[in-house]
Amino acid sequence: MSKEKSVKASEKSKPISKPETVESKAKPVTKPVVTESKAQPAAKPVATENKVKPATKTAVTESKAKPVTKTAVTESKAEPVKKAPAKKDVTAEIKAEEANAAEATAKASSKAKPAAKATKKSPSAKPTKAAVEKAPAVESAKAVEESAPVEAAPTEEHYTSPRRSVAFIGSECYPFVKTGGLGDVMYALPKALVKQNCDVKVILPRYKCIPWEYQEKMVYRGSFQMDLCADGRSFYVGIMEYVWDGVVYDFIDNEEFFSDGNPYTNLVDDIPKYCYFAKAALAALNYMDWIPDIIHCHDWQSALVPVYLRTQFVNTKLTTAKTILTIHNLRFQGIYNIPTIRYWSGLPDHVFNKDVLKVKYKDANMLKGGLAYANIITTVSQTYAGEIQSAYYGETLDAHLRYHSRKLRGIVNGIDYDIWNPDTDDRLHENYNITNVLDKKKENKRQLQEELGLVKDDHKFVIGLISRLTNQKGLDLVTSILPQVMDGHTQVVVLGTGDRNYEDAFRYYEHTYKGDVCSSIMYDETRAHRIYAGADALLVPSRFEPCGLTQLIAMHYGTVPIVRETGGLKDTVEPYNMYFNTGNGFTFDRYEAGLLLDAINRAKTLYFENRWCWDEMVQRDMDKDLSWEKSAKQYKDLYLDLTR
Ligand code: ADP
């Protein structure tokens, strides 16, 4: 996901121009004041064709290039890990998909070059200093495995379900680098799959911004030169390994591509970066002779993997692997002009046709290509899987998704109970569980109020909002009704960074409602944990939401979600039913400010007038199974289906 920068320094609040507000009272209004009816178009290239020519980057990289360091290139070959079992029977559905892909790749395969070959012409070779320094010292990856923490306890599935090997390829992963939900999933799902008897390798870029505490534990696993661009330019690919909780993390090392302070910068740099990453990830698997049953890719940054696999890697051992592409957020697609993507990816001309990568007249869409070539497409909730096939949510790919709907599935995300557990969370002032939540949550609320400079009052209804501050998250609804929410008995706590207009609007409200509104315009994990624990309710009024993790975390912390019924929010939050006293939160359907205000008012009414029922909902939420176990099992079943 090409998200905004994840880490921003905290800025002082300052008064700014007042945002527009909805004048209506608690009742639903028929027309929202600040409501855009259409989702924004998919991530647009920031520069035009003439601005960025392949040649520009070439010039830059060549001037930086250093000669290949012998130490880095001449290490012993990594041990082969595990071979994939022969796979002959696949479902009819998958066969059909492959027939399509095969047709498209037939031409390419004759031209296909070996993916990663050692070469001496290496103008762009550039191992990181650490890789070179570490190389001689490292015996083998086994050393790390020995020193790694003990693996998680195996579940029953671990023994009864057949073993499968899976390579996860994605652009971010907690705790190394995270800008949003993708980072959480890339960490938690592999861990959960290990318990389902999967052998998992996670392949990530080795960004310079990964904290040193992890960098220093990485072990050099090997390196080679890889042809990438259309003109045959080759690049250094280093593999640095880290084993943790039974999962092997292999970081693709190349200082030239991954030395920015943030994973995502701008498309001018990100397009070459993720063309390189997709190909290098496959080349690294080949190099390590680790042939997985499944290659599971995530979002546009690794969407070219299935395309490479069925074109340039078709004559390698990897070709037996099945591919899954998971859409975590359809808004980000990796679109750029065809000449640039063609140059950097080095992919054959025929994939730049309208059924695969081409969009409009002159652009290529990396996600679209991956969707065409993947054996299975998943997205992170059932509802979102349906929504994205409509024009409103489809981000211009709805027709393409409808065409591939036979291979589209929705599997909802979970949360990692090791990280998100109020009973053991060491970032909290007071730990708690379902038996003492009512008392201890009050204590967390008091501490939160004190820490954030709010009026200390147990009786105030505290609403939290933890979010990227972007157009997706429904913040225009929030900023337009906030004055009506501020009734003297309510406090609002915002944590997030993003678009300037939202950051300024929340700063304005902090200034206007001093003591009752706190806007933390920053990215801060500890503060996030404390808000989940100290708030009474959490707001997620998204315009669209593939799954959403914040409402899941909130429920697990006994914080009642107030959400819009879209995507994963609809699938995970059952609306409160006052007659049967059931449900997990408060919901509204249409994207209208008045309906959000109405949902907040219903929550307040229950909180202030029927605390008994509110408290029961708090406990119900904490009791809900939101772990990864169920979803990991669904993924495992999918892997088994694909590789029967
Ligand atoms: P998205 O992936 O669209 O950003 P999700 O709800 O799926 O949204 O995931 C958001 C994740 O990022 C959650 O773990 C949330 O706690 C975290 N997060 C979002 N903003 C911040 C922030 N400013 N500080 C700390 N954590 C944040």
- Contact between 189 and 628 (Cβ < 8 Å): yes
Q: So what's the pLDDT on residue 451?
A: 97
- 496 CA closest ligand 1 atom index: 23
Structure letter (DSSP) for residue 317? G
Write out the two tokens for 285: 């698997």
Q: So what's the pLDDT on residue 181?
A: 85
- Contact between 503 and 478 (Cβ < 8 Å): no
Write out the two tokens for 166: 């899976």
Amino acid at 606: L
Separation of 548 CA from ligand 1 center, angstroms?
8
Other CB atoms within 10 A of residue 524 CB: 17
Q: So what's the pLDDT on residue 153?
A: 57
Q: So what's the pLDDT on residue 111?
A: 38
Compute the distance between CA of residue 190 and CA of residue 179 in angstroms, rounded to an integer.
18
- 413 CA closest ligand 1 atom index: 7
Compute the distance between CA of residue 312 and CA of residue 504 in angstroms, rounded to an integer.
48
Q: So what's the pLDDT on residue 154?
A: 58
Q: So what's the pLDDT on residue 158?
A: 62
The response to whether residue 225 sits with its C-beta less than 6 Å from ligand 1 reads: no
For residue 484, what are the CA distances in angstroms to 27, 381, 389, 608, 634? 11, 33, 36, 17, 43
Write out the two tokens for 548: 């959403």
- With b for 16 or more beta-carbon neighbours within 10 A and e for fewer, the 385-400 pattern comes to bebbbeeebbbbbbeb
Best mutation site among 8, 523, 555, 564 for ligand 1 pocket (most ligand atoms within 8 Å of CB): 523
Compute the distance between CA of residue 518 and CA of residue 247 in angstroms, rounded to an integer.
39
The response to whether residue 524 sits with its C-beta less than 6 Å from ligand 1 reads: yes
Amino acid at 174: Y
- 182 CA closest ligand 1 atom index: 2
Token match 């318990």: residue?
195
Best mutation site among 1, 332, 549 for ligand 1 pocket (most ligand atoms within 8 Å of CB): 549
Residues facing 494 on adjacent strands: 465, 519
Sheet holding 198-205, edge to edge: 219-227, 234-244, 247-253, 198-205, 164-169, 294-298, 322-327, 376-379, 408-410
- Contact between 520 and 527 (Cβ < 8 Å): yes
Residues 6+ apart with CB under 8 A from 502: 469, 470, 475, 479, 496
- 473 CA closest ligand 1 atom index: 3
Compute the distance between CA of residue 319 and CA of residue 323 in angstroms, rounded to an integer.
10
- Contact between 299 and 329 (Cβ < 8 Å): yes
Instruction: Measure CA of the first residue to CA of the last residue in the chain; give whole Å.
Output: 32
Structure letter (DSSP) for residue 259? -
Other CB atoms within 10 A of residue 64 CB: 11
- 549 CA closest ligand 1 atom index: 6
Compute the distance between CA of residue 42 and CA of residue 366 in angstroms, rounded to an integer.
12
The response to whether residue 180 sits with its C-beta less than 6 Å from ligand 1 reads: yes
Instruction: Sort strands 234-244 and 219-227 into parallel, antiparallel or unpaired.
Output: antiparallel
Regions of the chain short of the pLDDT cut 50: 1-151
Query: pTM value?
Result: 0.79
Separation of 524 CA from ligand 1 center, angstroms?
10
The response to whether residue 314 sits with its C-beta less than 6 Å from ligand 1 reads: no
- 550 CA closest ligand 1 atom index: 6
- Contact between 517 and 508 (Cβ < 8 Å): no
**Protein residue with its CA nearest to atom 26 in ligand 1:** 525
The response to whether residue 549 sits with its C-beta less than 6 Å from ligand 1 reads: yes
**Protein residue with its CA nearest to atom 9 in ligand 1:** 181
Q: Of how many residues is the chain composed? A: 644
- Contact between 227 and 346 (Cβ < 8 Å): yes
Write out the two tokens for 364: 């290529």
